[in-house]
Amino acid sequence: MHGCTLVVISILSLLAGAVNAATPCDKTVCWQVAPTVCLVDQQQRPCQLALSLQWQSALPQSVCVYLDEQQLDCWRAVNHGQWQQQLQLTGPARLELRNQQQQVLLQQQLTVLSRQPERRRRLVAPWSVF
């Protein structure tokens, strides 16, 4: 049993290392955003999300990050940046990285999911005459 636990721990640590390894960027601008899904216990409840992003560019750029048209942070004439903040989401949101001309360079959808399934209305009455 102890040997099996060691194997599982070893596999998990290898997978974590592979996920955390820097992925090569073959585009002009790349980013990593985590997490992209927020889980709440009940529907209609706000979701607390510790969002972090890192971006890099082949050339220095001036860019800003937006959450649903609200500017969160900006960088001037640099080729990389990072940002972290605790956010409260009430529904799906769109995260964007824009240049000075307001062109969207990158975008990521943030999703809010509920553990409690949506209640469905019964199509048939619970009672019957027959």
Mind listing the pLDDT tens digit for each residue in 29-84?
Answer: 999 999 999 999 888 889 999 999 999 999 999 999 999 999 999 999 999 999 99
- Domain membership of residue 38 as a residue range: 27-114
Among 51, 52, 61, 69, CA closest to 27: 61
User: How many structural domains is the chain composed of?
Assistant: 1
> What is the C-alpha to C-alpha distance for residues 51 and 3, in angstroms, rounded to an integer?
37
Evaluate whether residue 120 is within a structural domain. Answer: no
Give every CB contact of residue 15 below 8 A, 6+ residues apart in sequence. none
Among 75, 77, 71, CA closest to 54: 75
pTM exceeds cut of 0.85: no
Evaluate whether residue 109 is within a structural domain. Answer: yes
Evaluate whether residue 14 is within a structural domain. Answer: no
Evaluate whether residue 124 is within a structural domain. Answer: no
CATH number of the CATH domain containing 41: 2.60.40.2470
